[in-house]
Amino acid sequence: MTTASVVGLVSRAISCLSPCLTDLSVRVLILLIEHVYEVRAWRSGRLMVWPGNRRLAELTGKNERSIRRALCLLEANHWIVRRYSASNRRSDGNAGIDLRPIAARLHELHQAAEFIEQKIESAREQAKAERDDLTMVKQSDDGAIESGVVDISVPLKSYKINPGSTNLVQSGASQATPGQRSCPTISGLDVDGEILFLMVQASPTLQKQLTAAELCDLVGPAPSAASIQSVVAAVRWTLSNQIKLRPSVWQFALAKHGWAALAAVMVAVDRQGVRDPAGYLYAMLKSARLRDTVRHNLRAIEQQESGHA
C-alpha cells in the first residue's frame, strides 16, 4: 500500500462511507495523507503527521477557522485523531495528527470502491443495451410523434409553459386526447441507480431539499422508496418553480428518457453559466443519448462545487 494508492481509494470511496463530509474535509484529509512520505509507514503504523492549520489553510485557500471545522468533522467521522502535547500543541513531542484510523479502515474503503465499480460497470452494460435498442426506440418515438401524441420538435420559442398554466408534472393520461397513449408519471419509472447516485452526489439544489438522513440513505447500496420519492418530489418542485417547461414536452421526454430526464432538470439549474434553464433543458431533452449527457454534466457539476471547474 502506497500513499498514492490510499489517496486514490479515499478520493473514490470516502463519500460512500461518510457522505456527510464536506468537500473541504475530503481535500484536507487527502493533504494529510500526502504528508506520509515513507511507503513502509502504512505497514508499520507510523502515521503521525504535523502540518499546522496555517499550512493547511495556505494549501486549500481557506481560512484557519474553516480548517479547524474540517478537522473536527474528520475526527467526528473517525478518519483522524488529533493529539496534543501537555502545552496544547500539535507540533512537538508525540503530538500531531494521527492517521492510523485511515489505515484501520482501508478494507472498508476497498469494499466501497468495489461497490462503486460494480455500479459503474452495471451502468455501462445498461448504457450498451440502450444504445443497441436506440434504433428501435427512435422508430417507436417517431411513430408516436406522427400519430399526434406529442411533438417535441415544436419551434424553440414555444417550449416554455404558457402564462397561467399549472401542474407541470401531471400524468400524461390527464392531457391525452382519446386514442392517444398515456405517458408515465415520474413515480412510475424504474429507478436508474447510477443516475440517482450521481444526482444526489452532484446537485446542490437537490441536496438542499433533502434531509441528512435521506442523503445518507440515497448514497447507500439500497435506498428506500421513501427517500427516492423525496428526490422525485424535489425534481417536481424544481421543474414547477424554477424552469416551467411545457407539460407536453416534459411528458414526452419523461416517457423517452426516464430518470435521465429527471437528472437533466437538476443539471439545468445547477450547471454554471446557464442563463436560460428552460432552454438548456429543452435542448438536452432532444438528445438521443441524454443519459450519457447528464452523467457527464453531473460529474462536471460535482467538480465545479469542489472548486476544480
For residue 58, what is the domain's CATH number?
1.10.10
Query: Which residue blocks in 147-289 are alpha helix, DSSP H?
Result: 193-202, 204-208, 212-218, 225-238, 247-257, 259-270, 277-285
Q: Convert the pLDDT of each residue in 154-212 to its tens digit.
A: 444 445 554 433 334 433 333 434 333 344 455 556 777 888 989 998 899 999 999 98
How far apart (Å, rounded) are the C-alpha atoms in residues 98 and 46? Answer: 9
Determine the pLDDT at residue 91: 64
Cell numbers standing for residue 111: 469494499
Tell how far CA 145 is from the center of its chain: 33
Number of domains in the chain: 2
User: Phi/psi of residue 96, each to 5°?
Assistant: 140, -165
Q: Which domain holds residue 85?
A: 3-108
Q: Are residues 38 and 159 in the same domain?
A: no
Q: Are residues 102 and 15 in the same domain?
A: yes
Across the chain, mean pLDDT equals: 79
Which is nearest to 239 in space by CA: 212, 208, 205? 205
The H or E element containing residue 117 is helix 106-132
Which pTM was predicted?
0.45
Q: Are residues 85 and 162 in the same domain?
A: no
Q: Are residues 227 and 273 in the same domain?
A: yes
Backbone angle region of 61, left / alpha / beta, with phi > 0 → left and psi within -120 to 50 → alpha: left
Q: Are residues 98 and 149 in the same domain?
A: no
Is the CA virtual torsion 90, 91, 94, 96 positive or negative? positive
Q: How confident is the model at residue 132 (pLDDT cuts 50, 70, 90)?
A: low
pLDDT of 294 strictly over 80: yes
Determine the pLDDT at residue 118: 85
